[in-house]
Amino acid sequence: MGALPSILDPRSIIVLAGIMGLMMALVVFFMRRSYPPSIRGLGEWALAPLVAFASTMLFAGRGFLPDFVTIVVANFVLFQACILYYAGSQKFLLGRSDTRGWTILNGFLGLAMFWFSAMRPDFEIRLVLVTLAVSALFFFHALLYMRHRGEVFGKRLMTGLLLVQSMVAALRFLSALAGMAGESLMDVSWIQSLYISMYSFTVLLLSISVILMATDRVHTEFEYMATRDPLTGALNRRALLDACRAAFASAGRRRAALLMVDLDHFKEINDRFGHLTGDAVLREAVGRMQRAIGDAGLLGRYGGEEFVVLLPDANQADAMNIAQRLKQAVGEPLAANSPNAAGPSDASESPLAAVGSIAVSIGVAAGEAGQRVDDVLARADAALYRAKALGRDRVMAAA
């Protein structure tokens, strides 16, 4: 095959890849500054193309700078950039990262690059080692996304890119084993240009995938925040009522039930222990209620210390059983080591443990599909007030 156009020579492609990487590093860096800290991994994703840019500048200096810099250091920095992309994905998907094994491998790879460049120069062996390591890292990176599948386009794009890059690196590895390694990195050949060009586009498209995934995560978090009570994490009143209306209006549902739950003597807790302890009590009560309800229903904060539980497809007997279970769960003694305890772990000093225990009164009302939610809520509310009038800490069914 004849020589490729000069614009496609490896050095030009490497420089172009570095410039694109630098631009994407700046984009992700400024995006990180404006996105909430709950979006993990952006720091590593912003640093990765910057490190990749440094490596491409070192590679581009091949023939002008010392071999130690353009071979050993350049390959070490390039592989570290790939590791940083992987670390960013781990933090984004798992909330933590652990790339120690890959970093150790990079150290051994650096030693091998030194040996086969300074002590026993062999471009073919260097290419075999680097492409094998890169192919393996991109494959394991892709597996991470395949284990966390989603309908987000950014995730699918990221997975596809990683798999393609892994296959291209594997192809270059096989070509080197077949005696098609060439004489140096700067050889103008179709396989060399394909390998380096694919890396250039991968740097660009990986950063685009990152931006798409992070933007989708922010959108999801904003949607979550718009439907949640900021103190307890339960559904807010608007989202709760929307869910209730949808449940009772569903053509495929025959019935549903509502529980109206009120924390007994909550004002006294606030007056005696303060509002911070009162907030901790609310969070603890919501956590216990959600565990008691499980997948059977939805919990929302109706107002103040009053909550509503929506139980789709539940009849009166089902709802009463769940209400009793909920009352029992909330009434367990408050522990000092609860994550909601707003104070020292010592039970004698913890404000939450000082409260001792809490109780709830519950009104239960079941309704048929097509009924007005307000009517069912009114019946549950009336049952709640009967429970409070009879001494609180009890469950009452609507008449």
Q: Which active-site residues does the annotation give?
A: 305
Take residue 180 and report the two structure tokens written for it.
Answer: 């098609």
| CA neighbours closer than 13 Å in the CB half-sphere of residue 176 | 22
**Angstrom distance (rounded) from CA 297 to CA 80:** 47
Residues 6+ apart with CB under 8 A from 395: 320, 323, 324, 327, 361, 362, 364, 387
d(CA 161, CA 208): 11
d(CA 174, CA 181): 9
User: Whole-angstrom Cα distance, residue 252 to residue 238?
Assistant: 23
Residues 69, 73, 79: CA angle, nearest 5 degrees: 145
Sheet strand arrangement including 395-397: 298-303, 306-312, 255-263, 360-368, 395-397
- Residue 390, H or E segment: none
Longest dimension (CA), the chain: 95
**Contacts with 120 (C-beta within 8 Å, 6 or more apart), sequence order:** none
Q: How far apart are CA 96 and CA 90, in angstroms?
A: 6
Report the C-alpha gap between 216 and 386 in whole angstroms: 47
